[in-house]
């Protein structure tokens, strides 16, 4: 544009002088705002912006758009114009969390954002809302007042959609009922509200409710109200046979209760004392546990019931087990005979456990009083093997044995025969079991149960020792040919060695020459310089040869409590552990602990 001045020459000249003076003070300066904010201002009526925000504040400035948007102002007002623009306009970036980004992908967000944009356009002070997908943020640009208002509304919306959790305390019975019988999600339409329930069974028990903040409190209130409506009652059934009959029908009772909107929980309670006397790991990986309790109250998949041939009277534990089944015993045996013919000794037959809480009842037929079979052990081994095989075939994970044996035999005989049969069977069936894992020996009489405990500690340890000797023999045969094959005691001889269990480890006392032992390591009580040439240490170093002596020299002098390891040299062992000789009980104890460690 061109500015034309007309008038009296003298006055025109004066006017031009004033105009030139004013023009000399004018400066073109950038707005000093972000590119996005400058882009928003470009969409506005620039003259109107100057009139509303510059003129009333006596700021001699305007906005000029010539390719780029600048402030045109006298030199003293440039900074004032820039500050005024920063006060009037503003931009904000809301960085979204992954959870909030997921919210922006829903239909609810699109509706909400559309309403906000419509509100911004209808206002005299506009605002531009832009959702940046990468890196996940919302950019607000416009008049500062409108940007602040829109930001508050956005944050409030996102906060309401934020997931949070509340814990509702509840009894174990209430938690079980909610999980198994009461579908709260459908009852209260929680899924449509984005609410999820998680039962908490660790103390304190209860329900963990998770959902959006806008719906969580309402859902929690509704769930608490439903929990208050859950009632429970306890009934006791203590008449003869009632408890066992109910336990047997446990599954069907639960189904019937659920069909009627209830939950049935059966708890089998007994006043009988139940004591686990000992637990052992058998050679084939099975566990053997000795119990003092009534075998009818033992938890197991299968229970063994001994029949001393069918002509003998049914008495004792056998009578108690068969009577508790609720089945007529003579009729049951006659039915079995009609199917299989006469029951033979060593038979193991799985039948229905009747009202007993077992998966299988295994009838084990052993020699009777007048059968004349001798010795009993051979028969018992076959009977036990058949019982265990029957349990395995029927996919039982555990089996409970009463005390087996010939009627009229002594307590020691019956206990030893039962244990021997089990141990021999486990030795023969090593690694064959797929289902069976646990064997329980159950005896109600305290003296018999303790006899089982004492004898099991000796017999199971001895059997374990035999396995270790077998492994040692096998390993010694695989040693390099440069090692001399020394004397290794026979397996039967190992049974005669004094043996004790300490902290689950087998300790065996043996008389012999340590330099002749075939083992992985032997211990040598040595001096500080590792060259003691007298006593047992001298014998060990002499038998080991020069290579071990040279290795000791390289290791060098040791402290009084030193423990070092060298090769076995010419000995049958792989290693020699040299302990600098302790002389007092505490030092000896420390040395042993360090050696074993």
CA proximity to 141, closest of 88, 65, 64, 185: 88
Mean pLDDT of all residues in 32-57: 89
578 lies in the same domain as 522: yes
Using the Cα atoms of residue 467, residue 472, residue 478 and residue 484 in order, give the sign of their dihedral.
negative
Give pTM, 2 decimals. Answer: 0.38
Q: Which domain holds residue 140?
A: 96-161
pLDDT at position 429 over 60? no
In this predicted model, which residue has the larger pLDDT, 19 or 296? Answer: 296
Is residue 486 included in any domain, yes or no?
Answer: no
115 lies in the same domain as 64: no
Is residue 529 included in any domain, yes or no?
Answer: yes
Q: What is the pLDDT of residue 193?
A: 76
pLDDT at position 142 over 70? yes
For 333-347, write each residue's pLDDT tens digit: 666 666 555 556 677
Is residue 13 included in any domain, yes or no?
Answer: yes
Question: Looking at 85, 114, 136, which one is the last position of a domain?
Answer: 85
For 200-226, write each residue's pLDDT tens digit: 877 788 888 888 888 888 888 888 888
Is residue 167 included in any domain, yes or no?
Answer: yes
Q: What is the pLDDT of residue 440?
A: 92
Measured in Å, how far apart are the chain's first and last C-alpha atoms? 99
Question: Looking at 161, 190, 216, which one is the last position of a domain?
Answer: 161
pLDDT at position 469 over 70? no
Is residue 342 included in any domain, yes or no?
Answer: yes
For 264-311, write each residue's pLDDT tens digit: 887 766 655 668 888 888 877 788 899 988 888 888 889 998 877 555
Q: What is the pLDDT of residue 276?
A: 85
pLDDT at position 127 over 90? no
Q: What is the pLDDT of residue 376?
A: 41
For 561-592, write each residue's pLDDT tens digit: 788 888 888 887 878 888 887 777 777 777 78
Residue showing tokens 């083992």: 519
8 Å CB contact between 146 and 123: yes
588 lies in the same domain as 542: yes
299 lies in the same domain as 416: yes
Q: What is the pLDDT of residue 217?
A: 86
Our count of domains for the chain comes to 5
- For residue 293, the domain's CATH number is 3.40.220.10
pLDDT band per the 50, 70, 90 thresholds, residue 484: very low
Q: What is the pLDDT of residue 494?
A: 41
Q: What average pLDDT does the chain have?
A: 78
Query: Please, where are the H alpha helices in 161-287?
Result: 172-180, 184-187, 213-228, 242-248, 250-259
pLDDT at position 545 over 80? yes
Query: Does residue 238 sit in helix, strand or coil?
Result: coil
Q: What is the pLDDT of residue 490?
A: 37
109 lies in the same domain as 57: no
pLDDT at position 329 over 50? yes
Structure tokens at 475: 């390993």
- For residue 189, the domain's CATH number is 3.30.1370
Q: What is the pLDDT of residue 588?
A: 79
140 lies in the same domain as 190: no
Question: Looking at 444, 465, 486, which one is the last position of a domain?
Answer: 465
CA proximity to 369, closest of 409, 405, 407, 343: 407
CA-CA-CA-CA dihedral for 98, 99, 102, 107, to nearest 10? -150
pLDDT band per the 50, 70, 90 thresholds, residue 85: very high
Q: What is the pLDDT of residue 192?
A: 73
Percent of the chain with pLDDT over 90: 7
Q: What is the pLDDT of residue 432?
A: 67
8 Å CB contact between 578 and 522: no
Is residue 546 included in any domain, yes or no?
Answer: yes
For 60-82, write each residue's pLDDT tens digit: 899 988 888 899 888 889 899 99
446 lies in the same domain as 586: no
pLDDT band per the 50, 70, 90 thresholds, residue 401: very high
CA distance 407 to 583: 57
In this predicted model, which residue has the larger pLDDT, 228 or 194? Answer: 228
Q: What is the 3-state secondary structure (H, E, C) of 258-312?
A: HHCCCCCCCCCCCCCCCEEEEEEECCCCCEEEEEECCHHHCCCCEEEEEECCCCC
For 365-398, write each residue's pLDDT tens digit: 776 544 444 434 446 777 888 888 899 888 888 9
280 lies in the same domain as 414: yes
Of the CA atoms within 13 Å of residue 7, those in its CB half-sphere come to 9
In this predicted model, which residue has the larger pLDDT, 276 or 23? Answer: 276
For 501-531, write each residue's pLDDT tens digit: 666 567 777 778 888 887 778 998 888 888 8
Q: What is the pLDDT of residue 485?
A: 39
């Amino acid at each position: 544009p061109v500015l034309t001045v007309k008038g009296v020459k003298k006055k025109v000249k004066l006017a031009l002088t004033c105009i030139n003076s004013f023009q000399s003070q004018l400066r073109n300066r950038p707005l000093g705002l972000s590119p996005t904010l400058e882009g928003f201002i470009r969409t506005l009526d620039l003259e109107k912006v100057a009139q509303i925000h510059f003129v009333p504040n006596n700021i001699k400035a305007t906005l000029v758009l010539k390719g780029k948007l600048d402030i045109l102002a006298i030199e003293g007002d440039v900074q004032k114009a820039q500050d005024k623009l920063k006060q009037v306009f503003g931009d904000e970036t809301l960085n979204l969390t992954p959870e909030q980004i997921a919210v922006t992908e829903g239909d609810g967000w699109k509706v909400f954002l559309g309403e906000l944009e419509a509100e911004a356009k209808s206002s005299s002070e506009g605002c531009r809302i832009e959702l940046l997908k990468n890196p996940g943020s919302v950019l607000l640009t416009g008049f500062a007042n409108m940007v602040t208002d829109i930001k508050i509304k956005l944050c409030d919306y996102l906060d309401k959609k934020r997931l949070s959790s509340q814990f509702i305390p509840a009894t174990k019975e209430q938690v079980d009922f909610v999980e198994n019988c009461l579908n709260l999600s459908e009852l209260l339409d929680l899924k449509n509200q984005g609410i999820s329930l998680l039962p908490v069974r660790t103390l304190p028990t209860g329900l963990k409710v998770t959902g959006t903040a806008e719906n969580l409190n309402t859902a929690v209130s509704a769930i608490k109200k439903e929990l208050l409506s859950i009632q429970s009652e306890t009934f006791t059934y203590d008449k003869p046979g009632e408890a066992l009959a109910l336990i047997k029908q446990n599954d069907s009772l639960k189904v019937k209760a659920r069909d009627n909107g209830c939950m049935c929980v059966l708890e089998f309670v007994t006043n009988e004392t139940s004591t686990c006397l000992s637990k052992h790991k058998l050679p084939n990986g099975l566990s053997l546990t000795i119990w003092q309790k009534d075998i009818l109250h033992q938890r197991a998949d299968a229970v063994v019931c001994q029949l001393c041939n069918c002509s003998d009277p049914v008495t004792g534990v056998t009578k108690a087990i068969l009577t508790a089944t609720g089945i007529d015993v003579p009729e049951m045996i006659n039915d079995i005979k009609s199917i299989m013919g006469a029951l033979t000794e060593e038979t193991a037959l799985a039948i229905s456990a009747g009202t007993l809480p077992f998966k299988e009842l295994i009838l084990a037929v052993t020699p009777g009083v007048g059968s004349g079979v001798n010795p009993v052990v051979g028969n018992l081994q076959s009977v036990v093997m058949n019982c265990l095989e029957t349990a395995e075939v029927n996919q039982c994970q555990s089996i409970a044995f009463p005390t087996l044996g010939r009627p009229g035999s002594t307590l020691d005989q019956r206990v030893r025969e039962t244990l021997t049969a089990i141990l021999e069977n486990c030795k023969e069936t090593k690694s064959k079991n797929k289902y069976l894992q646990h064997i329980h020996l159950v005896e109600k009489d305290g003296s018999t149960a303790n006899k089982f405990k004492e004898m099991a500690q000796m017999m199971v340890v001895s059997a374990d020792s035999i396995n270790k000797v077998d492994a040692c023999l096998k390993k010694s045969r695989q040693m390099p040919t440069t090692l001399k094959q020394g004397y290794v005691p026979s397996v039967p001889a190992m049974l005669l060695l004094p043996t004790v269990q300490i902290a689950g480890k087998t300790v065996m006392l043996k008389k012999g020459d340590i330099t002749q032992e075939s083992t992985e390591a032997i211990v040598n009580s040595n001096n500080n310089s590792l060259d003691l040439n007298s006593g047992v240490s001298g014998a060990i170093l002499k038998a080991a040869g020069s290579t071990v002596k040279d290795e000791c020299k390289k290791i060098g002098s040791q402290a009084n409590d030193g423990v070092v390891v060298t090769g076995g040299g010419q000995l049958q062992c792989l290693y020699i552990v040299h302990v600098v000789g302790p002389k007092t009980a505490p030092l000896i104890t420390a040395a042993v602990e360090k050696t074993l460690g």
